[in-house]
Structures are given as structure tokens and as C-alpha cells.
Structure 1
Amino acid sequence: MCDTFFSPSHRNLHGNAILAKNSDREPNEAQQISRFPAHNRPQKRVQATFIVVDCPEQVHEVILSKPFHMWGAEMGVNEYGVAIGNEAVFTKMKLGKKNNGLTGMDLLRLSLEQSTTAEEALGIIIELLGKYGQDACGGYQDKGMYYSNSFLIADPHSAYVVETAGPFWAYKRIKSFYAISNVLTLGTDFDQIHPEAKDFAYQKSWMKQDVPFDFQGAFSEPIMTFLGRGASRKQQCELQVPVSKSGKFTIQDAFGILRSHRIKDNFEPCQGDMGNICLHAQGLLTPSQTTGSMVAELRENAQSSVWLTGSSAPCLSVFKPFYFGTSTLNTDVFPQASARMDASYWWQWEKIHRKALVDYFSILAFIQPFQQEKENSWMELDRVLAVSKDIKKREELSQGAIENCLQLVKNWEQKGDSSKFTQWPLAYRLYWKWQNRRMKHERD
């Protein structure tokens, strides 16, 4: 389960478009921040998560946040300032569960690698969907997790929402704040629709022919959509859109939405049901955890900034700036994550997250001053470096941010009271003990 939103340039403080996303995955599914430089694929083929697909010889540089075991990505930005976030949506269209198609994450990465504008990215997703389909497992340990996808696609000038149901799709260009979650949102107000979608829905009696065609009404599957609470989280994103004193939306505002919980005061992770934007797993009815977050500031005439946590629970994490053309994310200096505790950034910061499951308020009080001080400081430097040609300075900013955060991890041992774990509900305690055992025994 995930949440993605877009704020257009005209309503933002610095006049740049903003796309943000929380990626909600399984609790032990490490999410890796990766940069792939522009390069050639002379064979014009690439191995995606399950299948080999055609691709152009030249592909663009991308910065991605991706599940460690997948080829595709949950969210990302390319060197031309195209940004995409995807969502699982549950529809009446049954998938064959043969893993002979593309995951939504594959579609996202392939589109970023090939596009220079949001409109071009939209066309690539539609083309790939028609050519390969999306019969592909999107889960990690949950091998039964198959779903259709929706996408928010943006560049500095324009943005689109495209929603799918099996092979069918509908899209709309958006010009104001827009949020998507694990629910179809396009009813009768789409710009274009798959040429066969209406006839298919009429034949299935999912829609009457004497009323305006409703894509959401025709294809949405009610039970999983209800359990996913996507409509509630979408509404929370829209209702929470705060503005700064200047009357404009800011990057800090985007951070705040991604960090938000339905319970405003005295929130505890054991209260983390599916209705929270910052999602905390707690058991059978809330099996997902926010495992990575992104806020992308897309500039027309300057370097785009990609702010990523690379860690679980944005309320307990720090957004760090990353840039194109730098070596900060090279694997020799930024270790890749694996299935269990290792030297990667995600697993190192996960030590703080697991500690907070026991004593949330103490750990939050420890982290929040660091969050505010460092993010504000980095943001001031980012304003200067975004228009500078000094790649080395941008690289130093990103590397310094990572080092600052890892240093904080080293100070975590004396924080929190482990005895407080006994205060929480038995089912919650058993769930996280089970997750910790799975983490220790998982194999790559």
C-alpha cells in the first residue's frame, strides 16, 4: 500500500513542481536507493523482474528507490526531471498469476529510462502495458500479491494520472494538487481511455450504456479496495495540504504529509492501522510498513533535487538530498541492501526503527531535533547548489547527509526503554517478534 501526491509549480514556494510518495511494503523488505547512469544496451533487451523486454539502446540516468530484490522501482526521477510514483490498485480484472508480465515497478523504471517528458512517460507505460501486460507478483514474502497499478507522472511543466485494470487504462492530465492511493480515482472525468475498455465493461454488465462511463465504477474491486483504506489516505493527503506563511506549498510541507498519522496526539506504532499515511505494520490487518519515502523537486532550468529517506517510517527518518551526475550512490561507497541485517543504510537505520517499536516517544524525541536541524540546513545548501555547476559540492552534500545519519545510528544504543515492550498488546508483540525472527533467518 502506498500514497503519492503532486503539487504543481504555480502553487509552490519556489515555483518548482513537487512529486512525493510513501512506499508501503512488507516490514523486512529493505528498500535500496540506487543511481543508474545513462548508458547503452546494445542488445536492446533487458531482464526485468520476471521477463526479458525490448528497450532502446540508449537509456537515461535515473535515481530510484527500489525493493532490494526487484529490478523495478517504487518511485524515482530521471535526468530530465521526469518523476513517477506507482500504486497497487485492486480491480475486477483477474490476473493469471503466471509471472509472464511486468510489475508496476518495472513499468515505472522502464518509463523513466526512456522518457524526457511526463507525456512521453505516459505513452511508454501504455505501450508497455499493451505489449507485455502486468501479470507479475508484486509481493516479497507474500507470493500471492498480484494487482493492477496506477501512476502519477510529473515533469517541471505537466503531470498525468494513469490508472489501469488488467490490460485496460484511463488517464487524465492534472493541473492542481492531486493524490492517488490504493484506489481507482478516475470516474467519468478521464481524458482518454483504452479503446476496448467500455465494450468489455458493458459485456460484463459492470456498467450501463445509458450513463456516462465511469472507469472507477466499472473496474474497482470493492473488498480489497476497502481493506486497503486507500480512499481514506487519499483524502487525508488532500485535506492536509498545508501552506507556509507565504501562502505557498513547500518541500517541508511535503515531508509533513508523508510523516502524518490519523491520530495526531500520542500516536503509538501499535495504533498504525491501514488508514495512516506514515504506515506502521502491526499484524494481519496492517501487514504493510512504509519502507521508503521520496520528495522530488522538479526544476525547469536547474538541477532537480531528489529527497529520499532510504529507511522505514518517515516520522522516524531523515530526508536526504541526492543529485544526478554524482557518485554518492555508487555501490562501492553505498552498500546494497540484502534480505537481512547488513551494512546497507536501510538496515543500519532499521536499528532505530526497531528500537522505536518498543519506546516510540523516546526515540522520536531523540530524532526530531536532528531531523529539523539537518533537513533545514541541507535545504538552504540545496537552493544554492541546484543552480551551481559544481557537481563535487552536490556530491559532498549528499555524502555528508548520509554520514551524519549513520553517526546518529551509532548513538542509538543508550536510547529507549526495552521494558516498555511488555505494555503493548500481545498480538503486536508476537507479530514483531515473528518479523525479527524472519529477518534473522532469511536468506538471499
Structure 2
Amino acid sequence: MEADAVPDVCRKHASSRQAVPRFFWRDEPMGSDMVVALGRATVDGHTLFGHNSGRIGNKTPCLCLSPGRQHEPGEKLRTQYVEIPQARQVFAVLGSRQSGLWGYDHGVNENQVAAGCVALPAALRCQQPGLTGPDLVRLILERSHSARQAVDLLTGLVERHGQGAFPVCPEESDHDSAFLIADGVEAYAVETAGKHWVYQEIHEVRAVSEARVVHQDWDRISCGLAGHAIAQGWWPEDGSKLDFAAALARNAAAESGNLRRWGRATLLLEEQNGHIDSMFLRRVLSDHYEDGSDALAFFGVAAGRESLCRHERGPARSATASSFVAELTAGTGRPGIAWCALAAPCLGAYFPILLDGDLPEALAQEDLRSLGASLSGRVLHLAEQLDQHPDRLGHAREHFARLQARFDQETEEFLSEAAALKQRAAQTELRRHTSLFMQHNVERFDEVLSEMLKQRTWVAVES
């Protein structure tokens, strides 16, 4: 398909889009948020990256572990909408993919570069289909040695192929994207608008939500964006530095909830600056403004508050689909590790995932039709049962907290063994041990989850 062709999937949405809101998050934000803490802000000097990825409806994402490989010159690559040249070498990537998409919401590669994306209201529109936010996340992870290289790749791809909204695109693609990119020493926040972009280098901590927050504090800007904003009357021609967020703002009222989530995440990070560890970052991503009872915090958020961990509630259909924390330790001799939670992170546990082993099948299942078919679907089922019996929430959290403590302790012990195997270049043994370690953790989680579901069924029968 030519780059300027309109895919069939877009044409079939063209007529129906006249009756729906222009941007799907105006009434129903996806509820995706990202956070990063560089070494100077953390307890152990390692960079920590986190992302809550949102969903709408019953679709749940699956984990993917794609191997690194070499490609022949001239090979092409099919992304969501367009075909682009394939890189000669791609790196191994652990990513989270929504059903029906080619790209990843977030992920980390073998070089310990992490990246994720969230949706922004569409400010500029491309003339033909381009790359999606998840496309760009996957592409930069497959091709980058460092965060700095990833930023350069991302901005170059956006300028060359475009991104985001285009004429008669599906409603779920009708947006721009913001990105957070990090490695063991650097991190960057990128905001886009059509083929344009700005980015900030991050020095300690940063949160990114579904709202533009880069004003005049950008470090670099795409060529021609300032001139375009002036020509459109969005910014005065007085020689002042372009305020990106102000010039491209389209519906401030609709973004208010997203800005509150961004403010909440920023406050939590700043309050703990210098003392952040992976457990704290997991608590941030599980946040429900927990200054009251567990039940109130979990099942309802007070007016004017937007929790970072989201659940389907009443007419609302958006919810946290998965949560992800990456510990980026390149250059330390310690293997990198990602922590992945299924569905809402406040109910369940974060699995330790390493790129050196085979991903357990239960974590890679794509849950397209039946929510009961995968672990994530069963976690959602438990959340629904707890909605009917909120008095049992504390009991469920206690069980999963004990499991998480075991995961944390045994992972520390395993990482020491894995580092020794890496140093000896015992790759076959490392892969076998890592695969068994991850599978064992999945089985433990399944046991606890099954027991909790049985208890919920027993309570329902007894009542």
C-alpha cells in the first residue's frame, strides 16, 4: 500500500464518525500515565520507568517478547497503517500490545532502553496515514542503543512519516501522542502534533499524562512548527519563544482530569525525590488518593479527583489495562528487570520479567473475546466480585501483598544468580533458569488468584 493510501479499516469508520465525539477521550479518557525517576532521584542510583496503560471495554493487552535479529538490505516493514524500510538490526524487546495493534504501549529492550506513549488531543492532522504512538514505541525500542538515540529516531520518524490523526482515520487513532523515553543515565519527554514535536530532557523526576504540559521549557522543537503556529494566529509574531501547550491547546476543560492525574503523579514523585525505589513507583501507579478507607479509595474517587489506577465504574468504560515498571541498570553488571501487573495494579501483583528467558504462555495470551481466557481476565473477574463484596477488599490485598513480598525477595536472590551466569557467558543455562523462574512465579500467582476467586464464590453462595 502506498504511504498516502487510506486503509480499508479507515474507510469503514468514515460514515459512523459523524455521530461520535471528535476525540474519544473528551468524555472517556483512556487513563494512561507514565513516570520516570533518574538515578539521582532513586535510592540505589538506578533509573526507574513506569507506565499505566489504559483500555476501553473488554480488550486486554498481552505481553510480547520479540527476539533480536539481522535483516537483509531493502527489506520492508508493515506497521499499523504504512510500510517503511526495515532496520538492518533489531534488538530484543519486551512490550505490551493491545489487541489488533502492531505496536507496543510500553516496553524495554535488551540495551535497557524503556519507552511508552499516551494519547494527546489531536492538534494537527496529517494528510495521509502515518505511524501510531505504539508503532513509534516499538520501532525505537527495536532500533536504539540509548535514550538519546531513541529520541533522535522518534523525531526523525515523525517528521518523515507523520503520526496521529489523518482524514477518516478510526476513532481510536484520532489523536496525537506523548512519549517518555529513558535509559540508565538519561530520560526525555516528547510531545507531538502531526509531523511536529517538542522534547524536554529530564533531570530528576517527571510524570506524563494525557495532556500537553510542555510550554516554553522545551529543549528542542521541530523545524517549522513555530512559523506554522504564528501563521495560524496561535502565537504572536513578537520574537518570543513558542509556548507549545498554549499554542496547540484545543479543549482545556476536557483535559482537566488528565492534568489532575499529572499533578498527582508529579506531587508524589517530588515528595519522595531522592528516596524513590521500585516499590514506591509501584505504589504511585496503584494510587487511589488513599487517605481514607480502602473500600472508598478502590471503589470511588471523590469529585475533582482522578486516580492513577483506574477501574470501570458505572457508565465509565475506561480502566487501567496493565502496569509496567522497568529497572534500568545498564553498565552496573546487574541484569535489567521489568515488573508487569495484569489489569489494575492495586489488585494483584507485579510479575518480575527478564529478557533472558522465554515468556510464560499465560502472560502472552491475547484475550480477544472471553475475559475468562487469560490471567488478566481472571483478575478483572475478581475485581468485579470485590465490587459486590467491598468488605473483602482488604483481605484480597493482604494476600497479594504477601505474594508480592515473596516475588521481591526471591527476585533479588535470582538476579545475583543471573548476574553470575551472565558473567560466565552461560547463555543456555541462563535462559533455562530464567524461564523456570518466571513460570514458577506465574504458577504461584495463579494459585493465589484461584483461591481468592473460590473465596468470593463461597461468600456469594453462603450469603
TM-score, length-normalised on structure 1? 0.85
Q: Which amino acid aligns with 2:229?
A: A
Q: Which residue in 1 is equivalent to 2:338?
A: 306
Deviation at 1:348, TM superposition (A): 3.1
**What is the distance in 1 between the residues matched to 2:261 and 2:363?**
37
Q: Distance between the aligned counterparts of 2:318 and 2:417, measured in 1?
A: 36
- Tell me, yes or no, if the aligned pair for 1:75 and 1:108 is still in contact at 8 Å: yes
Q: What is the letter of the counterpart of residue 404 of structure 1?
A: R
Gap change, CA 1:27 and 1:367, over 3 Å in 2: farther
Residues of 2 paired with 1:338 and 1:158: CA distance?
Answer: 37
Q: Which residue of 2 aligns with 1:17?
A: 47
Does 2:292 match 1:265? Answer: yes
Structure 2: segments with no counterpart, 5+ residues: 1-30, 422-429
Once the two structures are superposed, the pairs formed by residues 8-407 of structure 1 within 5 Å of their partners are 8-42=38-72, 44-94=75-125, 100-135=129-164, 143-210=171-238, 211-223=240-252, 225-226=254-255, 229-241=257-269, 248-262=275-289, 264-266=291-293, 267=296, 269-272=298-301, 275-284=306-315, 286-301=316-331, 302-309=334-341, 311-329=342-360, 331=361, 334-341=364-371, 343-372=373-402, 373-385=405-417, 387-389=419-421, 390-407=430-447
- In structure 1, how many angstroms separate the alpha carbons of the residues matched to 2:265 and 2:114? 19
Residue 385 of structure 1 deviates from its aligned partner by 4.2
Instruction: Give the ranges of 4+ consecutive aligned residues of structure 1 lying more than 4 Å apart after TM superposition.
Output: 331-334, 417-420
Gap change, CA 1:223 and 1:214, over 3 Å in 2:
closer
Identity percentage of aligned residues: 22
- Partner residue in 2 for 1:411: 451
Identify the range of structure 1 (261-270 vs 400-409) with the bigger mean alpha-carbon deviation.
Answer: 261-270
Residue 399 and residue 368 in structure 1: after superposition, are their counterparts in 2 closer, same or farther (change >3 A)? same
What is the one-letter code of the residue matched to 2:286? R
CA distance, structure 1, for counterparts of residue 414 and residue 218 of structure 2: 37
What is the SS of the residue equivalent to 1:297? strand
Instruction: Tell me the CA shift for residue 396 of structure 1.
Output: 2.5
> Partners of 1:120 and 1:45 in 2: how far apart?
21
Taking structure 1 as reference, are residues 144 and 105 closer, same or farther at Cα in structure 2, changes over 3 Å only?
closer
Q: Which whole-Å CA distance do the structure 2 matches of 1:243 and 1:235 have between them? A: 12
Q: Against the structure 1 CA distance between its residues 332 and 263, is the aligned structure 2 distance closer, same or farther, given a 3 Å change threshold?
A: closer
C-alpha contact 1:89 1:225 (8 A) present in aligned 2: no
CA deviations on 1:127-185 (whole Å, 9 max, x unpaired) are 11112212459xx9x83551101111001111111111111100111111111101112
**Residues 91 and 219 in structure 1, CA contact (< 8 A), matched pair in contact too:** no
Shift of 1:354: 2.5
Q: Secondary structure at the match of 1:231?
A: helix
Distance in structure 2 (CA, Å) of the matches to 1:413 and 1:161 = 40
Equivalent residue letter for 1:51: V
Q: Which range is displaced more, 316-325 or 361-370?
A: 361-370
Post-superposition shift, 1:205? 1.1
Report the alpha carbon displacement of residue 338 of structure 1 after superposing the two structures with TM: 2.5
Q: Give 1:402 deviation, angstroms.
A: 0.9
Shift of 1:265: 1.6
Partner of 1:276, secondary structure, is coil
- Greater mean deviation of Cα atoms: 376-385 or 60-69: 376-385
**Whole-Å Cα distance in 1 between the matches of residues 248 and 107 of structure 2?**
28
8 Å contact kept, 2:69–2:90: yes
Cα deviation, residue 263, structure 1: 5.0
In structure 1, stretches of 5+ residues that fail to align are 421-444
For the Cα contact (< 8 Å) 2:112–2:183, is it kept in 1? yes
**For the Cα contact (< 8 Å) 1:243–1:253, is it kept in 2?**
no
**3-state SS of 1:411 partner:** helix
**Matches of 1:157 and 1:144, distance apart in 2:** 34
Q: Once the 2 structures are TM-superposed, how far is the Cα of residue 33 of structure 1 from its aligned partner?
A: 1.1
- The offset of 1:120, in angstroms, is 0.8
Does the aligned pair in 1 maintain the 2:62–2:365 contact within 8 Å?
A: no
State whether residues 210 and 255 of structure 2, in contact with CA within 8 Å, keep that contact through their aligned partners in structure 1: no
Match for 2:353: what amino acid? F
Q: Distance in 1 between matches of 2:47 and 2:418?
A: 14
Q: Alignment length, in residue pairs? A: 410
Shift of 1:356: 2.5
- In 2, the alpha carbon distance for the partners of 1:194 and 1:386 equals 43
1:360 deviates by 3.7
Moved more, 37-46 or 331-340: 331-340
Instruction: After TM superposition, give the deviation of residue 417 of structure 1 in Å.
Output: 7.7
Cα separation, partners in 2 of 1:77 and 1:247, compared to 1, 3 Å: closer
> What are the Cα deviations for residues 258-306 of structure 1, in whole angstroms up to 9, with x where unaligned?
000135323255525871100112255x431000000000002331101
Q: What is the root-mean-square deviation of aligned Cα atoms in Å?
A: 2.7
Q: Deviations over 1:99-122 (max 9, x none)?
A: x22110011001100111001111
CA distance in 2, matches of 1:145, 1:121: 23
The 10-residue stretch of structure 1 (348-357 or 203-212) with the greater mean CA deviation from structure 2:
348-357
In 1, Cα distance between equivalents of 2:252 and 2:40: 38
Structure 1 position 87, deviation (Å):
1.3
Structure 1 residues 427-442: aligned runs within 5 Å? none
SS at match of 1:240: helix
Tell me the secondary structure at the aligned position of residue 103 of structure 2. Answer: coil
Worse-matched range after superposition: 212-221 or 292-301: 212-221
